[in-house]
Structure 1
Amino acid sequence: MHSRERRPDEVSGIYKDILLTRATDTTVADHGQDGGLVSAILIWCLENGVIDGALVSATEGDGGWQAVPALATDRDAVLAAAGSRYTYSANTMAIAEARQRGLGSLALVGMGCQTSVGPVMWHRRVGKAGKPIRLNIGLLCSKSFDDSIFEDLFWAKYRLHREDMVKMNIKGVFQIWMRNGDYHEVNLKECHAWTRDGCNHCPDFAAEHADISTGGIGENSDWTLTIVRTELGRQVIMAMLADGVIEGRPGDSDPGAIALMHKLAAKSRSRWPEWANPAVAVSLPA
């Protein structure tokens, strides 16, 4: 993918640029998470013929927060799927619907466990199934939670009904906004028991196989930390900046965000078992 191996000092993977970006369209920014970059990318790529569909997560439509794979093919569908759920959705499964609809140029949005699928298959020369994935958008992720956290913790302890939640985020605490305007914070230590088992062994916080990795970490809640990893990713971001659909500033204007990314990436790599392929653990302190 990058034509070279990751160096020991590249704990967050290989990349070309780090920026802070956000959507200039206030509707996109308001619907999205931490500046709405991912939604802006998908809308711009759909409207400019880069892709004809996007594999994303959405909710089931019953007012709850059950995350499910979905296919977005226009602006309205992208905005309907915007935001974070923090429970797992196998977004790649939406490729079946894309095939049925004859779509052949797709974006995939997902955590490192999903955005690694295509590049690993291509590297192993079994990439036919993943060939339609043309653009890989990764989400910085340290873990996702089992869906039972809504009933067993948020409702049982805090009386926060999932159907009344309108937004959630993680900024050192689990932040929850309610339909009536109330805001609540839940200590992340209370949430650990609902971590999905596989996440406890995942070494890839920074989604290093993506074309563009994104995350809402740092001091600014309305800007997205944007890690441009491939030439395709750079072309997309530069074109969007030129078109004015996103605005950007240097990543080092928030050095704390970059430092936190590297710290969390190192923590994720330390989860890798000693008996497994040691190449994954490169960059860990000796």
Structure 2
Amino acid sequence: VTAILLFALKNNLIDGAIVAKSEKEKPFFPRPILATTSEEILQSAGTKYFYSPNILAITKAIEQKKNSAAFVGTPCQIRAIRKMQLAGLKKYVTPLKLLIGLACSECFIYEGLMENHIHGKLGIDPYRIKKINIKGKMLVTVDSETVAIPLAEAKQYARKSCHFCEDFSSEFADISVGGLGLEGWTFAIIRTEKGDEFFSAAEKAEAITTKDASLEQNALNLLIKLSTKKQATAKGASK
């Protein structure tokens, strides 16, 4: 995602990017921003496991009279923007040129997971955490040590509304992206002509390195598994 945004900004394909940036004063707590420089885009890099209401930053794009901003967000946010487009809310959708959707099983509540569980129960100082990752378990890297939290424990702090969402892979985005267990790679799905235009331009300029997704069968299988699981969860929650 970062590489595509940097390429697009450098080549004037976009005039900003709505992304989530973690606060220094509150480790790993994301807030929505309108990034207009390469430095701001780089500062927003990395997976965010806590919810950031990125749609709120559209107002910044309106205030700054942007007309070709990229938007990076979760499946529910991408869907909301598509609904705004269908509803003809031009004021809010005109600034947006590219929608990049993030694969998402659920987002966590910061106060519950970070403050109450990781800090309060496990005694881990958030300022000492180097990285948070999910691979079968939630892995919290502190200095040189990694603490594993069972997903069942972490999921207690998932946002309740996530249980009703059936979209894992951001099906309404121009480009959908996700880790899917890949080391050093990001799985990308090109869903629209606009997405193909941006992705192909970045690929042609060698701003990104690509390989055929069919070479990563495990990632494909995981994509199908997680998508199916989320649909089943949403169906059960809505009964």
CA RMSD of aligned residues (A): 1.7
After superposition, the Cα gap between the structure-2 partners of 1:101 and 1:61, relative to the gap in structure 1 and judged at 3 Å, is farther
85, 89, 95: which one pairs with 1:126? 89
* Alignment match, 1:28: none
1:260 counterpart = 2:219: no
Secondary structure of the structure 1 residue equivalent to 2:229: helix
How far 1:176 sits from its partner (Å)? 1.9
Distance 1:214 1:249 in 2: 14
Deviates more, 1:110-119 or 1:139-148: 110-119
Report SS of the residue matched to 1:270: helix
The offset of 1:274, in angstroms, is 7.8
User: Counterparts of 2:115 and 2:14 in 1: how far apart (Å)?
Assistant: 38
The residue that corresponds to 1:247 in the other structure is 209
- Shift of residue 135, structure 1, vs aligned partner: 0.3
Quick one: which amino acid aligns to residue 177 of structure 1? Answer: T
Q: For residue 39 of structure 1, what is the aligned residue in structure 2?
A: 2
Query: Following the alignment from structure 1 to structure 2, what is the Cα–Cα distance between the partners of residues 84 and 228?
Result: 20
Say whether 1:164 aligns with 2:124.
Answer: no
Which residue of 1 is the match for residue 72 of structure 2? 109
Partner of 2:12: 49
Q: Does 1:74 align with 2:34?
A: no
Q: Distance in 2 between matches of 1:102 and 1:213?
A: 26
Partners of 2:236 and 2:90 lie apart in 1 by 29
- Distance in 2, matches of 1:275 and 1:216, equals 26
1:251 Cα shift?
Answer: 0.5
Other structure's SS at 1:82 match: coil
Q: Is the 8 A contact 2:164 2:237 kept in 1?
A: no
Equivalent position SS for 1:129: helix
Question: More helix per residue: 1 or 2?
Answer: 2
Q: Determine if the alignment matches structure 1 residue 210 to structure 2 residue 173.
A: yes
Q: Which TM-score applies when normalising by structure 1?
A: 0.78
The CA distance in 2 between the partners of 1:129 and 1:241, in whole Å, is 30
Equivalence map 1:82-231=2 (5 Å): 82-148=45-111, 149-178=113-142, 180-218=143-181, 220-231=182-193
Quote how far apart the aligned CAs of 1:98 are: 2.0
- 1:102-127 per-position Cα deviation (integer Å, ceiling 9, x unaligned): 22211110110111122222223334
What letter is aligned with 2:62?
R
Shift of 1:181: 2.8
Given that 1:109 and 1:137 are in contact with CA atoms closer than 8 Å, whether structure 2 keeps it comes out as yes
**Within 1, Cα distance between the matches of 2:135 and 2:32?**
25
Q: Distance in 2 between matches of 1:248 and 1:273?
A: 35
With 185-194 and 55-64 compared, the bigger mean Cα shift is at 55-64
2: CA distance, partners of 1:184 / 1:146: 19
What is the total number of aligned residue pairs between the two structures?
237
| Higher RCO structure, 1 or 2 (CA under 8 Å, sep 6+) | 1
The answer for unaligned runs of 5 or more in structure 1 is 1-37, 277-286
With 223-232 and 59-68 compared, the bigger mean Cα shift is at 59-68
Aligned to 1:25: none
Q: Aligned AA for 2:119? A: W
Provide the TM-score with structure 2 as the length reference: 0.93
What amino acid is aligned across from residue 216 of structure 1 in structure 2? G
Local SS of the residue matching 1:271: helix
Sort the Cα spacing of 1:273 and 1:63 in 2 relative to 1 into closer, same or farther, 3 A.
Answer: closer
How has the CA–CA distance of structure 1 residues 66 and 275 changed in structure 2, closer, same or farther, with 3 Å as cutoff?
closer
Identical-residue share of aligned pairs (%): 33
